[in-house]
A and B are shown apart, each in its own frame.
Chain A
Amino acid sequence: MGDMNQQMLEKYRNNFLHEVEEKVDDGHWVKMCMQCGVCAGSCTFGPDWEHTPQKIFMMIRAGKREEVLSSHSMWLCTSCYNCMVRCPRKLPITHIMHGLASYAHRLNLAPKNQPTRDFSLIFWDNCTRTGRVNELRMTISVYFREGFVSGIKKMWTLRNIGRGLFFAKRLNPMELFVNHGCKDKDGLRRALKKADEIEARRRGYAVQPRGYST
């Protein structure tokens, strides 16, 4: 993974904008930003971002590769699509943020232990295992991602919510054993594996190993 970053650095030299255009989903839109700042003002977690979308776009053009790809900012996108519907230039900002986060993850430049990154990986692994999300297993994976003790603490803190959901029949320990899932989960997983191969071929990447790759 580290060498993929090196490869990209060598390929694109100092032209980070070009790199984003070719490698990031919807990255070709970045040059259209006119720096009006409506996205920054519309963003749900905007005040928590170190770099708002507006800043990220300018940083890309200024070649601030390291700062952009190692930023926590894109990972604070809640996918509320407010920026996207308000953008006067119609940039698909939500998709660009996801694309940048995804690319940063691929190059292994995304911040370590980034909570949304971890959650995103857990979610994908969870839903592609059987073809449908198992909410209980997913929740446990999220809470225990920083270790056993911290997981137990989190579960203890949220015990009343868990109990409430159990009595509301919206959470059940049986989910640990009984799985909802696709009958043809093998076919689904083969299709996803193929999709990863095609994506790698198109973008000139190495195929990333996933739960369904083997």
Chain B
Amino acid sequence: MAKREYAFYPGCSSQLRGSAANYLVSVESMCEKLDVKMTQIPDWNCCGASISYAGSSELARHVLSARNFALSDKHLPGQDIVATCAACWLGGRETIEKLDASSELMADTNEALKEAGLEYKPGTEIRHMVEVLVEDLGYEELGKPVVKPLEGVKVAGYVGCQTNRPFGIAGESFENPMYLDKLIDTVGGESIAKYEEKVSCCGGSLAFCEPEKAEKQIKMIVESAYDHGADVICTPCPLCQANVEVYQSEINRKQGTKLDMPVVYYSQLLSVAYGGTLKEAGLDGHIIQPKKLQEIAVKVVPAKR
């Protein structure tokens, strides 16, 4: 039996053929090494993200999250839900907060859920994967499975918005959270304490509809990483990862810059340090190749005497 078990809510972008498909792959290999068992909530649905406010009502968005909670409670009772996507986690936390505060909203949500034969009961906990790592396991435990320390890899820890605000990780500040830097150091990488754009916004989903404005943000985030001599940017958010990696070529095309900074997930750093292959760490899923990490991933670990 695994040491720890959780109900897993991967979210839409992590699905096979999705924009964060490699995130899921790396999370799975990371969890295996940490003896953490994650069971997907059967038939989970989209959280509605932060952008659906024009088309939806607040109640409808709570119904989306509450359906996932109800399914988790039904099939995986007693297990905390773990989300890997910042928006999924945030949406879930908001629903719990709002429904706990209003019996009317709770009743309305359940009246709607009844149509799907489900009931949401209070008491659900939804947590970000990072919370599981730093709170349930702790840095010491996370350091134990390291077989390939990420020596000489300089990593700009880009926390972004929604893993950080408005809830954030307990004990961390909104302006300068340290957990990502600590994770980087734990696996032998070199974090950048003075990375200015650590909590800046990448433009979020507005990269789709206001690309010029988002590209301005992305350029700042990447250039600051260059200024500090970073080899790679690391983030806990699938949208940050996609935006910051994918639009660099567009910025280059429009502005004649030569941005070429790889962007990876924390789970990929851990997976590589734990001996994961290119594939297991999802390092085959990038447009801008994280070369230094790839080199470490293909290196053979010397056998222990």
Question: Chain A: residues with CB nearer than 8 A to chain B?
Answer: 25, 44-45, 48, 76, 78-82, 84-86, 94, 98-99, 101-102, 105, 110, 115-121, 123-125, 127-128, 131-133, 135, 139, 142, 158, 160-161, 164-165, 168-172, 174-175, 180, 182-184, 187-188, 190-196, 198-199, 202, 210
A-B contact count (CB 8 A): 206
Given A102-B53, A123-B51: A78 in contact with B201 (beta carbons within 8 A): yes
List chain A residues, Cβ under 8 A from B210: 45, 76, 115-116
List chain B residues, Cβ under 8 A from A165: 19, 246, 287
Are B161's CB and A81's CB within 8 A?
A: yes
Task: Judge if B49 is at the interface, Cβ distance under 8 Å.
Answer: yes
A174 to B21 Cα, complex, angstroms: 15
B31-39, B59-67, B128-136, B178-186 - interface stretch: B59-67
A127 to B48 Cα, complex, angstroms: 7
Are B208's CB and A142's CB within 8 A?
A: yes
Question: Chain B: residues with CB nearer than 8 A to chain A?
Answer: 12-13, 15-22, 43-46, 48-60, 62-64, 67, 108-109, 111-118, 161-162, 165-166, 174, 200-201, 203-206, 208-210, 213-214, 217, 242, 246-247, 249-250, 284-287
In angstroms, how far is the closest chain B Cβ from the Cβ of A175? 6
Are A120's CB and B250's CB within 8 A?
A: no
Given A45-B206, A123-B205: A199 in contact with B54 (beta carbons within 8 A): no
List chain A residues, Cβ under 8 A from B50: 79, 98
Are B12's CB and A123's CB within 8 A?
A: no
List chain B residues, Cβ under 8 A from A99: 53, 58
List chain A residues, Cβ under 8 A from B51: 79, 116, 119-120, 123
- Residue pairs across A and B with Cβ atoms less than 8 A apart, 19 shown, are A44-B200, A45-B210, A78-B205, A78-B214, A86-B174, A120-B51, A120-B55, A131-B45, A132-B45, A133-B13, A169-B21, A170-B17, A187-B115, A191-B63, A191-B114, A192-B64, A196-B60, A199-B108, A202-B108
Chain B interface SS verdict (over half): loop
Given A44-B203, A132-B46: A142 in contact with B115 (beta carbons within 8 A): no
Are A210's CB and B19's CB within 8 A?
A: no
Name which residue of chain B comes closest to A115, CB basis: B209
Which of the residues B52, B113, B165, B287 comes within 8 Å of A85, measured between beta carbons?
B165
A202 to B57 Cα, complex, angstroms: 12
Are B285's CB and A195's CB within 8 A?
A: no
A195 to B111 Cα, complex, angstroms: 8
A190 to B115 Cα, complex, angstroms: 6
Are A85's CB and B174's CB within 8 A?
A: yes
A64 to B67 Cα, complex, angstroms: 39
List chain A residues, Cβ under 8 A from B16: 180
